[in-house]
Amino acid sequence: MATIDYIILFGYFIAITAFGLWISRRTKSSDSYFRGERKFSWWIMMGQAFGTGTHAEMPVAQAGATFQHGFATIWYQWKNMLITPFYWLLGPFYRRSERTTIGEIFEDRYGKELGIVYSVFAIMFFVFSMGAMLQGAAKVITIASGELISANGVVLAMTVAFIIYSFAGGLVAAAYTDFIQSILIIALSFLLIPLGLNAVGGFSGMKEVLPANSFKLFDSNVGMDAFTISMLALNGVIGITAQPHMLSMYATGNTERSGRIGQTFGSMFKRLMTIGWALTGLVVAALVIKNNVTLDDPEMAFGYGSRELLGPGLTGLMLAAIVAANMSTCSNFMVNTGALFTQNIYKRHINPNSDDRRLLWVGRFSGLGLSLLAVLFALSIKNVLHAFLFTETTAAFMGIAFLGGIIWKRANRYGAAAGVITAFLSYYLINFLNVGTVMLVYKWEPAPFGLAMLFGFFMFWLGSIVTKREDQNRIDSFFDLMRRKSDAVLKDGEQKPLASDSGEESMLLDLPGWMKRDRWTGFFRRYREDLGGFLLSWIFVGFLILLAWAILQL
């Protein structure tokens, strides 16, 4: 670490904290703190989705997996690329709910008991996710700085910085700082590649020392067969619906389309960055052979490459990029955690008569306190990739109730509870029988996950069929809201227009009735917003796969 590195690193901390505090002057109410008053433009939504969806443990885990098993392990991250086009279809649900948290949507759909259950799950999800991020950053920082700088010290500084501006500015500060920090995340993704290629003799040099299967886009020998990829995709598409920060990703834009563009194409941009992380793993794999060294932990690959390849100034930039990737997500998670506790627990069950000022301060302090619990989980993590997949898997089990309740009107609270409980219990039982020991975080395997989802959905269906229906008036009101535009300009007393009138009816909402003849009447007119964005998203997916394949041919 040279003097210029310290200047860049600590200058970043000061600058981003000052910017966050400056932008936080806009926060005057609880709605502004939790939802930014739903005024974010599409480009801010893209930056928020990209920044929040990209954590420091992701390049660490992906580079480590590629270092150990080859490029085909990119599908651990790219599992979500195959389902990213569905993000476009999911968007309207969250904004049309007119809610602040997904816990409130659960309560609207299934009743207050499941609303509380989801809120507790969501808070734990944030704690686990933030813990994985902290551990990912620690692994890189420790080795990248040559142990000249304390990983705990940097994590502490990072935590203090995002807490300061998030505490003051809420989602407004989080969203705008996410956009700024996205620039550093791009640097994080590609900085090591040109330097590494120069050190190992380019692609030809890598291919001379690494096995041929290291450069395959698909390779069943490293566990990335069609079944595994399909289970990872299922994990992603079901789990993303119930991840608690999805409401802020979709519902805080100034229009429904802003939310759709932000989450879909901000996430697509992250898929592009994943190519950089995977290439970094290959570069470091060749570098350690060239230098005749051994890494005890494959997830040290990213940090080792940073230490060996970066010179003065660039080391400080890399460390700043690492903490930026974490801070952009942690700030959003802190605000969402506070929103969950405030809206679903404090306001609903502790003090229903709270005024807006009290709700604002409860949101601030609850988010602060719950965020600090993530440090405890971070200390227990041994493998960042397994921890990352663990959090997404728990969300997939909860997604049985969320997505199932959106698509299937007959679903009720008993079926939802049965499905989620069955999925969790069967997942842990199957893993226990395979491994022989009780663990909180098992290594992710496709078969136990697939069986748990199968059992969960079956019990979701069976439990809903054999028990009494939900109150019909409440269900009709819930789905009527889902069919109406949330961003239409209305006159006093005017009802929201039907989304079908402007070509924005939801294909997923209508999924159970597609076999009916009237479902196809005026199909392209009613669903043109869904169809256009969905098709464009698949074009991007094809482009990224083709790009990765072309790079591996060099």
Answer whether residue 29 is part of any domain: no
For the chain, give the longest Cα–Cα distance: 74
Please compute Rg for the chain using Cα positions.
23
Q: Give the Cβ contact number of residue 198 at 10 Å.
A: 12
Answer whether residue 382 is part of any domain: yes
pLDDT for res 200: 93
pLDDT for res 155: 66
Q: Give the Cβ contact number of residue 502 at 10 Å.
A: 14
Range of the structural domain that residue 285 is part of = 3-21+55-474+529-552
H or E element: which one contains 478? helix 472-482
Q: Which amino acid is at 180?
A: I
Q: Among residues 116, 139, 181, 152, which one has the least CA distance to residue 330?
A: 181
pLDDT for res 258: 95
pLDDT for res 483: 93
Answer whether residue 497 is part of any domain: no
pLDDT for res 405: 95
pLDDT for res 496: 92
The H helix count followed by the E strand count for the chain is: 24, 0
pLDDT for res 114: 93
Answer whether residue 98 is part of any domain: yes
Q: How many CA atoms lie within 13 A of 362 on its CB side?
A: 21
Do the Cβ atoms of 189 and 324 come closer than 8 Å? no
What's the CA gap between 480 and 97, in Å, rounded? Answer: 10
What's the CA gap between 296 and 186, in Å, rounded? Answer: 28
What's the CA gap between 217 and 170, in Å, rounded? Answer: 41
Torsion of Cα atoms, 372 then 377 then 382 then 388, to 10°: -90
Residue 120: partners with Cβ closer than 8 Å, 6 or more residues away: none
* CATH number of the CATH domain containing 251: 1.20.1730.10
What's the CA gap between 416 and 93, in Å, rounded? Answer: 18
Q: What is the pLDDT of residues 371-418, one digit of tens each?
A: 777 766 666 655 555 666 677 788 999 999 999 999 999 999 999 999
Answer whether residue 281 is part of any domain: yes
pLDDT for res 142: 66
The SS3 of residue 434 is: helix
- pLDDT tens series, the chain, 554 aa: 788 988 988 888 888 888 888 888 878 888 888 888 888 999 999 988 888 888 776 788 899 999 999 999 998 788 788 899 999 999 999 999 999 899 999 999 999 999 999 998 998 888 777 776 776 666 666 666 666 666 566 667 777 777 888 888 888 888 888 888 788 878 878 888 999 999 999 999 999 999 999 999 988 787 778 888 889 889 889 999 999 989 989 999 999 999 999 999 999 999 999 999 999 999 999 999 999 998 888 888 888 888 888 888 888 888 788 777 777 778 888 888 888 889 888 988 899 888 998 998 898 888 887 777 776 666 665 555 566 667 778 899 999 999 999 999 999 999 999 999 999 999 999 999 999 888 877 888 899 999 999 999 999 999 999 999 999 999 999 999 999 999 888 887 788 999 999 999 999 888 877 777 777 888 899 999 999 999 999 999 999 999 999 999 98
The SS3 of residue 253 is: strand
Do the Cβ atoms of 54 and 270 come closer than 8 Å? yes
Note the helical H segments in 347-500: 356-372, 374-378, 384-407, 413-435, 446-466, 472-482
Q: What is the pLDDT of residues 125-156, one digit of tens each?
A: 887 777 767 766 666 666 666 666 665 666 67
Q: Among residues 409, 422, 509, 434, which one has the least CA distance to residue 94?
A: 509
Answer whether residue 511 is part of any domain: no
pLDDT for res 432: 94
Residue 494: burial class (beta carbons within 10 Å; 0-12, 13-18, 19+): exposed
Answer whether residue 456 is part of any domain: yes
Q: Please count the structural domains in the chain.
A: 1
pLDDT for res 426: 96
Could you tell me what percent of the chain has a pLDDT over 70?
93
What's the CA gap between 406 and 109, in Å, rounded? Answer: 9
